[in-house]
Structure 1
Amino acid sequence: MKIWAVANQKGGVGKTTTSVALAGLLADVGKRVLIVDLDPHGSMTSYFGYNPDNLERTGFELFQHGGQVPDGLAAQLLQKTSHPRIALLPASTALATLERQTPGKSGLGLVISKTLAQLWNDFDHVLIDSPPLLGVLMVNALAACQQLVVPVQTEFLAVQGLERMVHTLTMINRSRRQALPYLIVPTLFDRRSQASLSTLKLLRDRHKEHIWPAYIPTDGRLRDASRAGLVPSQFDPGCRGVIAYRALLKSLLARQPGQPA
């Protein structure tokens, strides 16, 4: 099982679109994919037609057992999506209350790691959509993953959010045996915009070692796919956005030599 987290400490940078697009492309070539929504806003959950306000069973249940995950619970929480090879672990808006409910409690940072251990033989790839705030949910995503994808909108305020994310990674890596590899992905790029062009250059200058050399362009077909509840490659496999995400997936898989795609 390969586990990737998609995170940034700023919203609106394309985290959910990136998670769903990569999941769809993996599923299209026969991989069994699990997508995990850890964002209380539930954008990924809503993407596939579920309401994070009134779902009876969600990932929130995982955090109600003192840091342990009862046997079999993970599989009971999974939902179907529009793609037959993609399963969803949905979010609930109740996830936003975790920080208030669990002050001072230890052991909650590995809940998602323990959850995925129960599903290890059921999926080939996992993509975790992380919330844009540093807290127990993002810590879970970073602790569980083997590769971090950091989407960054090509505009100045998003660059500031990236600096906070890199600082967070520095802190997290102090507690890991091995540093977490991460790839910065420029998103929502508009070649007609001077702001996009200058921000892309700034990203490449500041983060040469960790930035993906290409970018994800703005593409209305990605929004249309979201409205239809379909992964982008189902909706329009030839659109600019999907072509870019296909190149990104190839790059991510190449970063893990010796492991089958």
Structure 2
Amino acid sequence: MGKTTSVVTLGGLLAQSGKRVLVVDLDPHGSLTSWFGYDPDTISQSVFNLFQHEGKVPEGLPGQLVADTGCPGLSLMPASTALATLERKMVGVGGMGLIISRALAQLWDDFDYVLLDNTPSLGVLMVNALAAAQHLVIPVQTEFLAIKGLERMLHTLQMIMRSQKNQLSYTIVPTLYDRRTQASVKSLNMLRKSYPDTLWRFSIPVDTKFRDASQQGVIPSVVDPDTHGVRAYRHLLEDLLTLTQKGREPSDG
């Protein structure tokens, strides 16, 4: 769906603007972790360590899990494939839905922005991400099956947010858009019709520079700061910053 590419690109642009940014990998597949050259199968210090303390986060532990990305200002809290066992191992343990919130609370003074790369499936990781988030960015490929998947995911999100009594704002971002293909154009029009209030006004185009960046283990704006994909993400970042800053105004709660 483009979630990892979105996290890396947006995080990289924020870091290049002088912000201190932490990206957190909450996906057992570890794509974000792999992007920066770490192996989710063998890594010993990861987000998984946060969940091994009976619902509590030991003081100082989150800082020990922060890894270097090679990009100044951008840090990573990596994932391990052991995250896939959380549901089974943590049955009956209280407070598991607030682990990430508690961990990030220890790091508030160290970072200006935190971006979470989360699995779209229902479970303890999604519950943690929603509890810690201020705004959701939902990338969706401009193709029919991805749009059907979006419908199911939004239903799941609403269900969790109702149970948490925490209604988050969100932005749906069309990705992998190719205006040369009829399927992509039709899909974008479908998204605009179905989600007029929450769909981002533009789209992220297909861009081979993203693949080049992931192969090199760097942020896309290092490979080419002016490629059309990076320019699109730069516009997205501007809109998200405007949106979230409005959300922090006292009149909005």
The normalised TM-score by structure 1 is 0.92
What does residue 133 of structure 1 align with?
121
C-alpha separation in 1, matches of 2:132 and 2:29: 21
In the alignment, does 2:39 pair up with 1:69? no
C-alpha separation in 1, matches of 2:153 and 2:116: 16
C-alpha separation in 2, matches of 1:177 and 1:246: 32
In the alignment, does 2:75 pair up with 1:57? no
What does residue 74 of structure 2 align with?
86
2:83 equivalent among 84, 89, 95: 95
Shift of 1:231: 0.4
C-alpha separation in 2, matches of 1:255 and 1:178: 18
C-alpha separation in 2, matches of 1:46 and 1:239: 23
Letter in 2 for 1:49: G
Q: Which has the higher contact order (CA 8 A, sep 6+)?
A: 1
What does residue 198 of structure 1 align with?
186
C-alpha separation in 2, matches of 1:116 and 1:174: 23
Identity in percent? 59
| SS of equivalent to 2:138 | strand
What does residue 148 of structure 2 align with?
160
Deviates more, 1:172-181 or 1:33-42: 172-181
Shift of 1:32: 0.1
Structure 1 moving runs of 4+ over 4 Å: none
Letter in 2 for 1:238: D
| SS of equivalent to 1:257 | helix
What does residue 39 of structure 1 align with?
27
2:103 equivalent among 115, 121, 131: 115
C-alpha separation in 1, matches of 2:235 and 2:134: 20
2:138 equivalent among 150, 154, 163: 150
The normalised TM-score by structure 2 is 0.95
Runs of 5+ consecutive residues of structure 2 not aligned to the other structure? none
Instruction: Give the number of the structure whose residues are more often helix, by fraction.
Output: 2
What does residue 10 of structure 1 align with?
none
Alignment root-mean-square deviation, CA: 1.3
C-alpha separation in 2, matches of 1:257 and 1:155: 31
Shift of 1:163: 0.6
Count of aligned pairs between the two proteins: 248
In the alignment, does 2:177 pair up with 1:189? yes
Shift of 1:178: 4.6
C-alpha separation in 1, matches of 2:203 and 2:182: 15
Summarize the Cα distance change of 1:257–1:84 in structure 2 as closer, same or farther, 3 Å threshold: closer
Letter in 2 for 1:103: V
Shift of 1:52: 0.7
In the alignment, does 2:17 pair up with 1:25? no
